[in-house]
Chain A
């Protein structure tokens, strides 16, 4: 069974500083990995996804993530934090065995706080 672990339930950075949110995966098969963002009282919005085409994945709003098989990691980064980045971030995994209609297994989430 696949799973993801997000290190740090809360991360606080200053506006303009580097954002680094950590995600490690555990999967018996090559995983499909996703990062979603959730703003208060809203649904989830996809930031980016890894599907084995490229190890460095660029997403929306200046976010990117690098898949490192040797470290079983898929950390999310952004060079310069904006106040609008304050939200809950979820890493998610699927093993792709459901013929495309696979449920996602989410990490516990990381709450990103941006200090002015």
Chain B
């Protein structure tokens, strides 16, 4: 298995809803990432988990709450989002470090629309 999967592909939610995005990989990778990509913009890093511990939080609002229950699974819990949070949310994973920076493998993304 050489891919990163993300569910759901599309999500529409109201500003008072609570929802979760799921990301899964079975490549033995030990680092996992969440990026946010607005339309016609580059991806922006949100969170990094290394060995299931949160290692980077790029000052993301608390309405986004990441969780890494095990080495294969990464969740992003969403609560009280704003319309400007509508975007493509990309998950990525990378192998255990072998010196330097390892390649990040991206999933297809979840397209989120907040009404």
Contacts and interface: CB of A to CB of B under 8 A. Distances in A.
B42 A43 contact: no
B31 A101 contact: yes
Given A94-B101, A98-B48, A109-B42, 9 more contacts: A34-B103, A44-B92, A51-B100, A52-B100, A100-B98, A100-B99, A101-B56, A103-B45, A109-B41
| Interface range on chain A (Cβ under 8 Å from partner) | 20 to 34
A17 interface: no
Interface in A49-68: 49, 51-52
Interface string B37-73: 0001111110011100001101000000000000000
Contacts of A46: 103-105
B21 interface: no
A108 B38 CA distance: 11
A80 B100 CA distance: 32
Contacts of A98: 48, 50, 55-56, 101
Contacts of B102: 100
Nearest to A51: B100
B106 A104 contact: no
A96 B105 contact: no
Interface in A6-57: 32, 34, 36, 41-46, 49, 51-52
A90 B97 contact: no
B103 A96 contact: no
A93 B48 CA distance: 16
A108 B30 CA distance: 28
A44 B50 contact: no
Interface string B66-107: 000000000000000000000000101010111111111111
B97 A43 contact: no
B109 A106 contact: no
B50 A104 contact: no
A96 B101 contact: yes
